[in-house]
């Protein structure tokens, strides 16, 4: 259980940051600076949700792998949103 919790904490933090950042950049019709408050309010509950899902997985290896892939996808989305939005 500790390995799954560690995966949730260590990989959940950058996953939540990247997801919130991509959402902030991709928000329609606004500049990313105007969405900072909403994104900061959403960050902590999202991180806790990732930790909760990580602890509920079947194995630690599956958790680390799934969160690693999710991080790659989230940072790819962040990169794409930054390029698309300018």
Which residues of the chain fall short of a pLDDT of 50? none
Q: What per-residue confidence (pLDDT) applies to 66?
A: 97
**pLDDT given at position 50:** 97
Which residues, 6 or more positions from 60, have their beta carbon under 8 angstroms from its beta carbon?
A: 3, 4, 7
Widest pairwise Cα distance in the chain: 43
Residue 3 is encoded by which pair of tokens?
Answer: 């390995």
Residue-level pLDDT at 16:
97
pLDDT at res. 45: 96
Question: What's the pTM?
Answer: 0.88
pLDDT for residue 59: 95
CA distance 9 to 35: 25
Q: Which of 20, 7, 9 is nearest to 68 (CA)?
A: 7
Determine the Cα angle at 68 with ends 27 and 39, to 5°.
Answer: 25
Q: At which residue do the structure tokens 């509950």 appear? A: 45
């Amino acid at each position: 259980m500790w390995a799954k919790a560690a995966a949730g904490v260590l990989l959940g933090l950058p996953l939540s940051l990247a997801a919130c950042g991509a959402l902030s950049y991709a928000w329609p019709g606004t500049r990313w600076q105007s969405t900072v408050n909403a994104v900061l309010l959403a960050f902590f509950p999202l991180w806790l949700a990732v930790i909760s899902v990580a602890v509920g997985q079947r194995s630690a290896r599956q958790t680390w792998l799934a969160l690693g892939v999710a991080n790659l996808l989230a940072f790819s989305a962040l990169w794409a949103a930054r390029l698309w939005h300018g």
